[in-house]
């Protein structure tokens, strides 16, 4: 799915490489680097602002992930498509 993306070392060997695993790994590594945690936002903050904060953090941690997103994942798929 992400042919150009080189897996972080902690994920090499997992059963299924997923975006969840890549993002979880990046955020966990970041937490270990003692970066201040961001307070989880409640519904009162604009959704778009919350998503922007996520994107910026991921861009900082794993810029290749955003750069290598294939075009097909930018389309919402029919419900009987495979995962």
Partner 1 sequence: MAASSGIGVDPAEPRLRLLVLQPTPFCNINCSYCYLPDRTARARMSLATLDLVCKRVFESAHLDGKLEVAWHGGEPLTVPLAWYEDALALMAARRPAHVQLEHVFQTNGLLLNQDWARFFARSGTKVGLSIDGPADLNDAHRRTRRGHGTLDRVMRAVHLLQDQELPFHVITVLTEAALDHPDRLFDFYVGNDIKEVGFNIEEIEGVNTTSSLARHGMEAKFRQFIRRFFELVWAAPGQLKVRELESTIALLLSDEPARDEQNLPFAIISVGHDGTMSTFSPELLGMRHMRFEGFGFGHVATHGLPDLAHDPLYRTISAEIQRGVEACQRECRYFRWCGGGAPANKLFEIGRFDATETMHCRLTRQVVIDETVAQIEARM
Is position 53 an interface residue for partner 1 (rule: CB under 8 A)? yes
Specify the length of the chain in residues.
83
Please state, in angstroms and rounded to a whole number, the distance separating the CA atoms of residues 70 and 80. Answer: 20
Which residues, numbered 62-81, are part of the site for partner 1 (CB under 8 A)?
A: 65-66, 69, 72-81
Is position 3 an interface residue for partner 1 (rule: CB under 8 A)? no
* The two structure tokens encoding residue 55: 């994107």
Is position 4 an interface residue for partner 1 (rule: CB under 8 A)? no
* The two structure tokens encoding residue 80: 């009987």
Which residues, numbered 27-46, are part of the site for partner 1 (CB under 8 A)?
A: 27-28, 30-31, 37-38, 40-41, 43, 46
């Amino acid at each position: 799915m992400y042919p150009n993306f080189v897996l972080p070392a902690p994920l090499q060997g997992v059963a299924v490489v997923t975006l969840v695993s890549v993002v979880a790994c990046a955020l966990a590594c970041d937490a270990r680097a003692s970066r201040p945690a961001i307070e989880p936002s409640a519904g009162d903050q604009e959704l778009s602002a919350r998503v922007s904060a996520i994107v910026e953090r991921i861009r900082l941690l794993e810029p290749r992930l955003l750069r290598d997103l294939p075009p097909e994942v930018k389309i919402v798929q029919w419900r009987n498509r495979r995962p």
